[in-house]
Structure 1
Amino acid sequence: MKIYFVYILKCADNTYYTGITSNLEKRIMEHESGKHIDSYTYKRRPIKLVYFAEFTNVDLAISTEKQIKKWSKAKKEALINNEYNKLPNLAKKKFNN
């Protein structure tokens, strides 16, 4: 059974990058080494892995990555910090503004 990872990196400029891969260790090394010059993280190194989740269903992994990419920085930080109880309120604030 293949495993897929959705991950969040914290970049040197304090922004977050969310990605998906089937080989987390290799992908992190690619980000760290700057293998892909056109990537978001290339000029924002060093990077730090701050969150990852494992999936056996690639479609669910892709949809989760897309969902997290749309989240605010505060909502991503709640996820990273295991503050799951804050996630619903952070979503509501977006719609109340």
Structure 2
Amino acid sequence: LELKDGTLLSGCNVENASYGLCMCAERNVLFMSVACGVPKEEIASLTVYAPTESLTTPCGACRQVMAELLEPDTPVIVTNGTQEKRYTVRSLLPDSFMLAP
């Protein structure tokens, strides 16, 4: 998570034998930013990195949290280290009840 002042915050996946209790890196870092008192207006972008052959986009739970904790036009950069694709929060979760038209 990059803040507008250049500060970088990072998160990681926290795995659990019960998959539903896992925490994705995206939610991890967003919840940390809330705990640190970072207003969503100060967040410049969110980068999702997965060392996989193809690009890995955020799961549905992460998309919903992003819709609530980031501005709709916040860039979401998905990368595997060699490829990159850019989205916005709005494009990842269109017609969300949390996003104004």
The two structures have a TM-score, normalised by structure 2, of 0.28
> Highest CA radius of gyration, 1 or 2?
1
Could you state the TM-score of these two structures normalised by the residue count of structure 1?
0.29
